[in-house]
Amino acid sequence: MDITTVNDRHLYEGRVVLRDPENPAAQVEMARRIVRFGPPGWLTVVEDLSADADIALYPTSEVVSVSRLREVVPRGTTAAAEA
């Protein structure tokens, strides 16, 4: 399953910063990740849109920031189809 199976709309590429679960005073930065906001209370994150990419779900309580967002059009669709 890929992230577009979960939701083929509202995918973004951006920078994600999380609290480090092993050291609450530290942070983990993930640059250039594909993200989607949801399911409610969660942030869905993958490295790319390939079918074999691992999907990670992070509770929003662990998310410090999501920045540098730009919309990503999933393969097989067009910007016009997304509107």
Give yes or no for residue 7 having a pLDDT over 90: no
Inform me whether the pLDDT recorded for 1 exceeds 50: no
Three-class DSSP labels, 41-58: CEEEEECCCCCCCCCEEE
Q: How many C-alpha atoms does 18 have within 13 Å on its Cβ side?
A: 18
Residue pLDDT, tens place only, 44-63: 999 988 888 899 999 999 99
pLDDT at 21: 86
Please give the model's pTM, rounded to 2 decimal places: 0.75
pLDDT value of position 56? 95
